Each structure stands twice: as C-alpha cells, then as structure tokens.
Amino acid sequence: MFRNQYDTDVTTWSPAGRLFQVEYAMEAVKQGSAAIGLRSKTHVVLGCVNKANSELSSHQKKIFKVDDHIGVAIAGLTADGRVLSRYMRNECINYSFTYESPLPVGRLVVQLADKAQVCTQRSWKRPYGVGLLVAGLDESGAHLYYNCPSGNYFEYQAFAIGSRSQAAKTYLERRFENFTDSSRDDLVKDAITAIRETLQGETLKSSICTIAVVGVGEPFHVLDQGTVQQIIDTFEIAAEQEDPATEPDAATGQEAATEQGTAADQGGSTDEGAAPMDI
Amino acid sequence: MASSGFQADVKALQKHLAARHLIYQHQHNKQMSCPAMAQLLSNTLYYKRFFPYYSFNVLGGLDNEGKGCVFTYDAVGSYEKVGYSSQGSGSTLIMPFLDNQLKSPSPLLLPARDAVTPLAEAEAIDLVKTVFASASERDIYTGDKLEIVVINADGIRREYMDLRKD
C-alpha cells in the first residue's frame, strides 16, 4: 500500500529502508524466460529457454559470448542485456589488449556490478532490468556468478533465474553437491534436465532451449541444435522405458551409449522444421 | 598481415586490428573477409596520417567467395589489390624478380594476368623461398629466418626456413 508513495524514482528511500525501483527491476528479471547455469571444477554450462513473442517471430538471443573464456546468459529486459554484453565484450578486449591475458571473471563481474550500482544512485537513470548469469574460466578455475539489477553479485555452484525458475532451482538444489566432479557431458545433461523442469509439461525440444559450454581447453560456444536434440533424445527414451520417474538421469548414464545411435535418427526426422524462424 | 618497419608500431597495429576483428566477429557472427580487413587497415593507418604507424604492410587472405587476395600498403594507408607484392628492406631486390616471374608480358596484347598469380600452392611457396634466399645474398638486413604463412580453404599453416645468418 505505502509502496506507491516511495516508488516514483530510484533515489527515494522508503521508511522501511528499501529502494522500490530497484526491487521492481528485480521483478522484471523474474518475468523474463528462464536461464540456468551450473558448474563443475573444469566446466560451466549455461542454458536458457527460447521464448518467442508469437509463432511468427523468432526468439530473442539470451546467451552471449563475451570472450573465449566468458559467456553470459540473461533474463529480463533483453535489450538491457545486449547493452551490458557489449560493455563486457569491450572490457575483455581492452584488458587483453593492455595485459595480453584474459580478463579474470571475478574482475569483470565487479565492474558489471559497479556499473549497475551507478544506476541505483542517479535520479536521471533507471536500474538495468536484467539479471546476468556470468560463466567463465580463469586461473582459479571455473566460475558462475549472478549479477542483479541492484548491483549485487553472488557466486554460485548452480543457479536459475527468470520465470518458473523455482522448479529448476529445486532440481539443482537436490543435485548440486555432485556437480563439482561431474563430467562435461553429465553437466550438459543436468542443464537440459533443469530447463525441462521450468517448462513444466511442455515438450522438451532443441528448438526451445539453447545450451552453451565453456571449460578447460574448450572456448565458450553455443551447442548446435543437432547435438542438443541428440542429448534430449537419450533421456526422453530412457524416461519412457522406466516408470515416469523424477530422476531418469541415473539410468540415462547407462543407457546413453546404446540409445544415442537409434535416438538420433528418430529425433532428427521428427524435429525438422520445428522452428522455421530460428536464427 | 605481414609488416616491415618499426617493430613497436607493427605490434601495436597488429593488436589494434586483432581487437577490431574480435568486435566484428561478436557483431556479425562471422570472420572478416580479406577485402573488409583491407579497408579497415587502410582506415586505421590513415587515422594516424599526421603521426603514422611506421609499418609497411602486405595483407593476404580469402575473400567472401574463398578466393585468395593480396593487398599492399604504404605507411599511411594507401592500398591496392594486387596479385603479388613485397615491402620493406629487400623489396627493391624482390619486386623486380616477382615482376619478371608473375607479371604478364603486355597488358595490351593479352588480358593482364598479374591480378591473380597463376601458381599452384607448392609453386608459390617455392617461389617465396627462392626469392628470400636470393634477397639474403645481397641485402644486409634480410636473413636469419623466413616464416611463410599459407592460407587456404583448409585453414592457416606456417612454414619456416633458415636463411643466411650473416
């Protein structure tokens, strides 16, 4: 009720000591389509749900390569996210130019956080309405950070943001202790499963999600649809053969080798032309 | 890009172009074609028209169709697409030799062939080695080692050859 009196601009405190504009910005993040990230000791995987405005349009790009060793997934106002990724790319390029070495992820997220903080303390600006999951590799290992519109940042083992992310978070909370020692492929499978949790009933297809990986000896890149579809097929088949259990992944590991051959053919033909406007 | 001249300027120029290339790749999702980079290099050099990069460049690469191209520059960005070129110390010895081997005899009688050098890859590499070996004989600054970068549809490959050490 009293919120409406103190929420006109970002430079007004509420009597309870809150900045409502900043909190509204965090709300914008919760409205965006889901993005998840998880890391092991050597790899970080980012995933996001591709939401298109209508059947006629293409979906918005939510995962950006920042440098060979850093990538970012966003949720919220994608326009703000694009601008921030451009800033991050420039910072990485300038750092490499000056120091001939890759920008440590920890430094980048601090710069990003400071940039976000500025927008919470100027009356002529507004906070960025986007949450960023920054995945990166540096000398101290693999890292996953979450940058808020408030200017805070946190490091995570695994996290999910955006709409219906709570389902993914629950799934990740159950399994995160195993992630540190996971292999790269298991990490990707877990990412896709986490995304499936956010879809809540919708069929999981490679056109609906985007997965990107960065790791030791593996520069940041987005996995192509074919690869993602193959992985999806391996555990869809495994899930049908068991009881429709909540954790098909245990069996997936064993069945993956045998199923992948046959599943790939089936998956490829049924999903041809699933997303005509996919860029 | 092969450059001759003041090493610090050469290095700075290379780093500048590498950074610009990275930006291009982020924005366009593809590698720069050689003609695009050629224009960028020219603009970069002319930007410092009144305090130039002391760097004499030859740019080589593939265009959007996958065909090879060579561009030659002066220190302030004047450039031309050619079939072959040389810059730097020893170029006065090398250029006449390349003209002799690769330039078409008369542009009036035949269609001029020197826009695209009609050599196979192995022949071209051999020619480069010959040319540098010869230049090392008479030019005091040319010598020690030769690095050859071969760019084709399969990618980029490097070869090294020792030259006279004196």
CB contact under 8 A, B19 and A96: yes
CA-CA distance, A145 to A46, in Å (whole number)? 11
State the nearest Cα–Cα gap between B73 and chain A, in angstroms: 24
pLDDT digits (tens, 9 = 90+) for A114-154: 999 999 999 999 999 999 999 999 999 999 999 999 999 99
Q: What is the pLDDT of residues A207-262, one digit of tens each?
A: 889 999 999 999 999 999 999 999 988 877 766 665 454 444 444 434 333 433 33
**pLDDT band at residue A59, thresholds of 50, 70 and 90?**
confident
C-beta atoms of A93 and B23 within 8 A: yes
pLDDT of amino acid A278: 36
Secondary structure class of A26 (helix, strand, coil) = helix
* Alpha-helical regions (H) of chain B: 7-28, 34-47, 91-102, 121-138
Amino acid A89 reads R
Residue A61 near residue A76, CB atoms below 8 Å = no
Whole-number Å distance between alpha carbons of A11 and A29: 20
| The pLDDT of residue A60 | 85
| pLDDT for the residue numbered B162 | 96
What is the assigned CATH class of domain A20-223? Answer: alpha beta
Q: Judge whether B11 is closer than 8 Å to chain A, CB to CB.
A: no
Give the pLDDT confidence score for residue A256 in this predicted structure.
37
User: What tens digit of pLDDT does each residue of A163-213 get?
Assistant: 999 999 999 999 999 999 999 999 999 999 999 989 888 888 888 899 999
Set of chain A residues whose Cβ sits within 8 Å of the Cβ of B26: 65, 86, 89
CATH class entry, domain B1-88: alpha beta
Which residues, at least 6 apart from B26, have a Cβ–Cβ distance to it below 8 Å? A65, A86, A89
| pLDDT tens-digit map of A91-107 | 999 999 999 999 999 99
Q: Which residue has the higher pLDDT, B106 or A87?
A: A87
Q: How far is A146 from chain B (nearest CA, A)?
A: 22
- Tell me the C-alpha distance between B53 and A79, whole Å: 38
Contact between chains at B19 and A93 (C-beta distance less than 8 A) = yes
Which of left, alpha, beta for A133 (phi over 0: left; psi -120 to 50: alpha)?
A: beta
Within 13 Å and on the Cβ side, how many CA atoms surround B28? 11
Domain boundaries, chain B: 1-88, 91-165
* Cβ contacts from A onto B, under 8 A: 14
Phi and psi at A49, nearest 5°, equal -90, 130
> Whole-prediction pTM value?
0.83
Quick one: pLDDT at residue A201? 80
Residues lower than pLDDT 70 in chain B: 105-117
Which residues in chain B are closer than 8 Å to A97, comparing Cβ atoms?
15-16, 19
